[in-house]
Structure 1
Amino acid sequence: MHCGFCTAACPTYRLLGDERDGPRGRIYLIKQVLEGEAPTASTQIRLDRCLTCRSCETACPSGVAYGRLLDIGRQVVEEKVGRPWLDKSFRLLLRTVLPYRRRFGAVLALARGLKPVLPSRLQAKLPAASPAGAWPPLRHARRVILLQGCVQPALAPDINPATARVLDRLGISAVVAPEAGCCGALSQHLSAQDEALDFARRNVDAWWPLLESGAEAVVVNASGCGAMVKEYGHLLRRDPAYADKAARVGALAKDIVEVLAAENLDGLAVEPRTVAFHSPCTLQHGQKLNGVTESVLRRLGFDLAPVADAHLCCGSAGTYSLLQPRLSQQLLEQKLAALEAGQPECIATANIGCLTHLQSGAARPVRHWIELLDSAWNQR
Structure 2
Amino acid sequence: MKITSVETFLVAPRWLFVRIGTDEGIVGWGEPVIEGRAQTVRAAVHELEEVLLGADPLRIEDLWQVMTKGTFYRGGPVLSSAVAGIDQALWDIAGKARGVPVHELLGGPVRDTLRMYGWVGGDTPTEVRDVIAQQVEAGLTAIKMNVSGRMSPIASPVEIAAAVGRAEAAREVLGDERDFAIDFHGRVSKANARRLLALLQDSAPMFVEEPLVPEHSHLLGELVGLSNIPLATGERLFSRTDMLPALQSGIAVVQPDISHAGGISETRRIASLAETFGVLVAPHCPLGPIALAASVQLDFATPNFLIQEQSLGIHYNAGSDLLDYLVDPSVFTMRDGYLDRPLGPGLGIEIDEQAVRDADRRGHDWKSPVWRHDDGSFAEW
TM range (shorter): 0.3 to 0.5
Bigger relative contact order, structure 1 or 2 (CA pairs below 8 A, ≥6 apart):
2
Q: TM-score, length-normalised on structure 1?
A: 0.32
Structure with the higher fraction of residues in strand conformation: 2
Hey, which of these two has a bigger chunk of helix by percent? 1
| TM-score normalised per structure 2 | 0.32
